[in-house]
Amino acid sequence: MLRPITIAVFAAVIGLWWLAGHLGWVSAFLLPAPATVADTMGDLIASGELARHSLVSLRRVSLGYAFAITLAVPLALLFVLSRPLRATFEPLLEFLRQIPPLALMPLLMLWLGIGETQKIGIIVLSCFFPIFLGVRGGFAAVDRKLIDVGTVCGFARPEIMLRIVLPSALPAIVVGLRIGLGYSWRALVGAELIASSAGLGYMIVDAENLARTDIVLAGILVIGALGLAADLLLRLAIRTLAPWLAGDLEMARA
Partner 1 sequence: MLELVGIGRRYRVDGGEVRALADIDLVLPKGSFTALVGRSGCGKTTLLRILAGLESPSEGEIRRPAQAGPLRIGVVFQEARLMPWLDVRGNVGFGLHGRLPRHETAARCTAALDLVGLSAFAGAMPGQLSGGMAQRVAIARALVLEPEVLLLDEPFAALDAFTRRAMQNELVGIWQRRKPTVVFVTHDVEEAVLLGERVLEMQAGRIVGRENIELPYPRDPTAPEANRYRRTILARLMADPAAARPEPAALS
Which residue ranges make up the site for partner 1 (CB under 8 A)? Answer: 145-146, 148-149, 151-154, 163-164, 167, 170, 242, 244-245
Closer of 26 and 237 to partner 1 (Cβ): 237
Closer of 62 and 151 to partner 1 (Cβ): 151
Dihedral, 181, 186, 188, 191 alpha carbons, nearest 10: -150
3-state DSSP assignment of residue 42: helix
Minimum CB separation of residue 242 from partner 1 in Å reads: 7
Closer of 52 and 163 to partner 1 (Cβ): 163
Beta-carbon count within 10 A of 14 CB: 13
Minimum CB separation of residue 143 from partner 1 in Å reads: 8
The strand ranges marked E within the chain are none
Minimum CB separation of residue 148 from partner 1 in Å reads: 5
Closer of 83 and 145 to partner 1 (Cβ): 145
DSSP string, 93-139: HHHHHTS-GGGGHHHHHHHHTTSHHHHHHHHHHHHHHHHHHHHHHHH
Give residue 27's region: left, alpha or beta (phi > 0; psi -120 to 50).
beta
Minimum CB separation of residue 136 from partner 1 in Å reads: 20
Minimum CB separation of residue 37 from partner 1 in Å reads: 45
Minimum CB separation of residue 245 from partner 1 in Å reads: 8
Closer of 94 and 148 to partner 1 (Cβ): 148
Minimum CB separation of residue 29 from partner 1 in Å reads: 55
Annotate 148-169 with b (16+ C-beta within 10 A) or e (fewer).
eebeeeebeeeebbeebbeebb
Instruction: Report phi then psi at 211, rounded to 5.
Output: 60, 35
CA distances from 189 to 99, 156, 176 (A): 18, 47, 20
The rounded distance, in Å, linking the Cα atoms of 178 and 180 is 5
Closer of 153 and 221 to partner 1 (Cβ): 153
The rounded distance, in Å, linking the Cα atoms of 192 and 72 is 24
**CB-based contacts of 220: which residues, under 8 Å, 6+ apart?**
204
The rounded distance, in Å, linking the Cα atoms of 54 and 200 is 6
Closer of 8 and 149 to partner 1 (Cβ): 149
